Amino acid sequence: MNRKETKSAFTLIEVLVVIAIIGILAALLLPTLGKARLKAKIAKSQTEIHSIETALKAYYTEYGKWPNGNGTAADYSYGSFGAVYTGYCPNGGLMNTLRAIQDSDALVCGNGPDVNNPRKIVFIEIKNDSLDSSGNFVDPWKNSYQITIDTGYDNLCQNLANGKPNPVGAGSVTNRNAVVWSLGPDGIGGTADDITSWK
For residue range 61-71, what is the model confidence (pLDDT) as tens digits?
999 988 865 55
Strand order in the sheet with 146-149: 76-78, 146-149, 178-182, 195-196
- Say how far apart CA 158 and CA 176 lie, in whole Å: 10
Distance CA 27, CA 196 (A): 33
Do residues 130 and 92 make contact, with C-beta atoms less than 8 angstroms apart? no
Total of domains in the chain: 1
* Interatomic CA distance for residues 14 and 117, integer angstroms: 69
What integer pLDDT is reported at residue 160 of this predicted model? 43
Residue 95 or 6, more confident: 95
What confidence score (pLDDT) does residue 108 get? 63
What pLDDT, on the 0 to 100 scale, is given for residue 107?
57
Decide if 56 is inside a domain.
yes
pLDDT, position 68: 67
pLDDT value at 134 more than 80: yes
Q: Mean pLDDT over all residues of the chain?
A: 82
- Whether residue 132 is predicted with pLDDT greater than 80 in this model: the reply is yes
pLDDT of residue 165 exceeding 80: no
Helix axes 91-99, 12-63, angle to 10 degrees: 70
Q: Residue 32 in 3-state DSSP?
A: helix
| Pairwise CA distance, residues 78 & 46, whole Å | 18
Is residue 4 included in any domain, yes or no?
Answer: no
Confidence of residue 6 (pLDDT cuts 50, 70, 90): low
Residue 64 lies in a domain: yes
Are the C-beta atoms of 19 and 27 separated by less than 8 Å? no
Is the per-residue pLDDT at 99 higher than 60? yes
Q: Which residues have a Cβ under 8 Å from the Cβ of 179 and sit 6 or more positions away?
A: 53, 147, 148, 157, 167, 170, 173, 196, 197, 198
pLDDT of residue 158: 74
Q: What is the pLDDT of residues 28-79, one digit of tens each?
A: 888 888 899 999 999 999 999 999 999 999 999 999 988 865 555 667 888 8
The reply to whether 156 falls in a domain is yes
In a domain? residue 26 = no
Count of other CB atoms within 10 angstroms of residue 156: 15
Give the integer Cα–Cα distance in Å for 162 and 89.
13
pLDDT at 72: 54
Host domain of residue 126: 46-189
pLDDT in tens, 175-186: 888 889 898 998
| 40 located within any domain | no
Of the two residues 82 and 164, the one the predictor is more confident about is: 82
